[in-house]
Amino acid sequence: MIFNSLLIANRGEIACRIIKTAKKMGIRSIAVYVDADKDALFVTQADESIRLEDGGYLDSNQIIEAAKKTGAQAIHPGYGFLSENASFARKVKKEGIIWIGPSANVISVMGDKLKAKDLAIKADVPTLPMTSKPSEAKKIGYPLLIKAAAGGGGKGMRIVNKEKDLKESISSAQREAKSGFNDERIFIERYVEKSRHIEIQILGDSHGNIIHLGERECSIQRRHQKIIEESPSTRISEEVRNKMGESAVKLAKKIKYESAGTVEFLFDDNTEEFWFLEVNTRLQVEHPVTEEVTGMDLVSEQLKIARGEPIGFSQKDVTWTGSSIEARLYAEDPNNDFLPEIGTLIAFEESDSAEARWDTGVKTGTVVGTDFDPMLAKIISFAPNRTDAASKLAKALQSAHIGGVKTNRDFLINCLNTEEFIKGDTTSDFIERVNPSRKLEIEEDEIDHVLAIAALWIQQNNRDNANLAKFMQSGWTNGRLPMQKITFEFENKEHIVEYKKQRNQKFIFLSDKEACIYKKDNDGIDLIFDGKRHYSRVTLSNNNILVHMPFGDVMLKVKPRFKEPGTEKTIGGLVAPMPGKVIDIKVKKGKKVKAGETLVILEAMKMEHSIKAAEDGKVSELLISINDQVENGALLMVVK
């Protein structure tokens, strides 16, 4: 089953990742894309691209037609979208195209978490108590975890602490599961509060060989989605690792697994018990950390297995070296419950002062919309020990120049720098328990430094672009003029910067601090301010100026001299915290509401978000209808 052309039925960073290995192996890569992705990185990196009509990445017929049209001999589904769709896998094979992944039957069985649990029990793999009947929830005992039977990625998942919340949580989980997987079935299992999410990477071939490549720990999650993963786990002993690996291989053999896959387990940090959760019949987002510590290319292994080749090594040949940590960079606002953000990336420059692997599908100028998952990139570090791996990852994040859309970057850095993370105290309650700062912590003198850089870069930039009197030195005058003044906004607070250029070419600020410019170019400025000197990358877009500092990026807004009309806020107005679709309205005009009561449910990126009342009141205006598409900040209703 030799093939030399491969269609990637996916987008973004995973499409770029697959293309990279295809090129190494001399395989022609073909991308499919929708209009929203017409300028995306993966489209330009592929050897050939085919535009998809309505239905896009979920339209299996269009994708197969694209494969036929381009002569693609194989299809790689990546993850998400159709990667765990058994019907799609069957269609691909029926058309005589090689499917990169396990058989449709395995996908079907393992994609149904209820059937997967039954198989795990038959394979003598430990599982958690569960039920698919809400009436039996009380027997399991609270807290409970509701899960979608047909998928993962945090969609359709809810923690329920009290019986009174069960009904609404089930309804919400079912809607989200229906939207994400076209299957509203859910099940309920015991929720283990102090736990770790441990997964075992497996490989299986068509010759009956199945091995595991060790574990990954993916315990640090927000909204039930992973944000930091690592290999190996700091908590798993060699004995437990061997037991988990044996359990994973035993289950994989029972279903005759082929290709790369992941067997996920829940590990109780107190008792060291572990239970089977699910099998992901695809490549995982976090697969790079396994690649880093084993030295293997998992996409390459997938392609070789699909060609019918036996795995080229045995279990005893697998070794693990050093430590690797991955952080997922998302377009989201950690200070707004990690809700997705949209906008245009005015800068996306990887770090040039810290060694790290960047798996990304975006670039400067990429528009981040509501159509897809808000992940921008995965940044992966590797070092001989975990402490250095954590430091390298934090430095890589900190020294990158990224802006235009709010991200979780500063939150990730703060997580990596906590004492708890360094010690490996990374149970699934990490974010709630440790509560790392969700933003860049910046001192007053550091703000002054940023403001000075922004003001002088703008002053020099205006001078560079001036059409008159260019022969004069900047700031020259034969009279006594007042200080130059510019107003910025940072974190909803106005900052007025006043400065004047002296005859010695230095700039003096109202605070009596001095600055001297050594060099200025289109990309940034090298200056000394209050005795501190460094080169700052600077990006200006409309009224926003992004300044890179040694401690990270700071976004300032250049305030206009006069207030813009139409910017007044409505008293009592409830606004959308993100762009999305209105899928449910819980109140009517004239209804009294209580603080904390759910008023509206929005859907964004296939996830549900409940908008709640901030205080007691009465709905005086209702400005939306079900199925409306609303922008971030749109007025939904007025509660007085």
Work out the pLDDT band at 186, boundaries 50, 70, 90: confident
Residue 171 confidence (pLDDT) above 80: yes
Average pLDDT (396-413) is 97
Q: Which run of H or E residues covers position 640?
A: none
- Dist CA 172 CA 147 (whole Å): 11
* pLDDT single digits (tens) 330-343: 999 999 899 899 99
- In the chain, pLDDT over 90 holds for what percent of residues? 72
Given a contact cutoff of 8 angstroms between Cβ atoms, the answer to whether 627 and 581 are in contact is yes
Phi (first) and psi of residue 416, to 5 degrees: -65, -25
Residue 36 confidence (pLDDT) above 50: yes
Residue 469, pLDDT score: 47
- What structural domains and CATH numbers belong to the chain? 5-100 (3.40.50.20), 129-190 (3.30.1490.20), 322-441 (3.30.470.20), 444-466+474-558 (3.30.700.30), 573-639 (2.40.50.100)
Residue 323 confidence (pLDDT) above 50: yes
Beta bridge partners of 382: 324
- Dist CA 68 CA 74 (whole Å): 10
Q: Of 204, 213, 203, which is closest to residue 245 (Cα–Cα)?
A: 213
* pLDDT single digits (tens) 601-618: 988 766 778 888 888 999
* Highest averaged pLDDT of the listed ranges 185-194, 320-329, 580-589, 621-630: 320-329
Residue 194, pLDDT score: 84
Q: Of 612, 616, 617, 615, which is closest to residue 636 (Cα–Cα)?
A: 612
Work out the pLDDT band at 569, boundaries 50, 70, 90: low
- Dist CA 269 CA 266 (whole Å): 9
Distances in Å between the Cα of 570 and the Cα atoms of 455, 462, 562, 640 are: 33, 37, 20, 11
Higher pLDDT, 571 or 554: 554
Query: Distance of alpha carbon 7 from its chain centroid, rounded?
Result: 24
Residue 153, pLDDT score: 64
Catalytic (active site) residue 11? no
- Dist CA 447 CA 495 (whole Å): 9
Average pLDDT (40-49) is 98
Residue 443 confidence (pLDDT) above 60: yes
Average pLDDT (508-530) is 95
Q: Which has the minimum average pLDDT: 3-12, 21-30, 135-144, 218-227? A: 135-144
Q: Which has the minimum average pLDDT: 149-158, 338-347, 530-539? A: 149-158
Higher pLDDT, 145 or 549: 549
Per annotation, catalytic residue among 11, 158, 222, 282? 282
Query: Distance of alpha carbon 556 from its chain centroid, rounded?
Result: 24
Average pLDDT (408-423) is 98
- In the chain, pLDDT over 70 holds for what percent of residues? 95
* pLDDT single digits (tens) 340-367: 999 999 999 998 888 999 999 999 999 9
- Dist CA 161 CA 163 (whole Å): 7
Residue 435 confidence (pLDDT) above 90: yes
Residue 534 confidence (pLDDT) above 60: yes
Residue 467, pLDDT score: 55
Average pLDDT, the chain: 91
Average pLDDT (388-404) is 97
Higher pLDDT, 238 or 474: 238
* Highest averaged pLDDT of the listed ranges 11-20, 182-191, 220-229: 11-20
Residue 481, pLDDT score: 59
* Highest averaged pLDDT of the listed ranges 287-291, 370-374, 564-568: 287-291
Q: Of 346, 341, 343, which is closest to residue 541 (Cα–Cα)?
A: 346
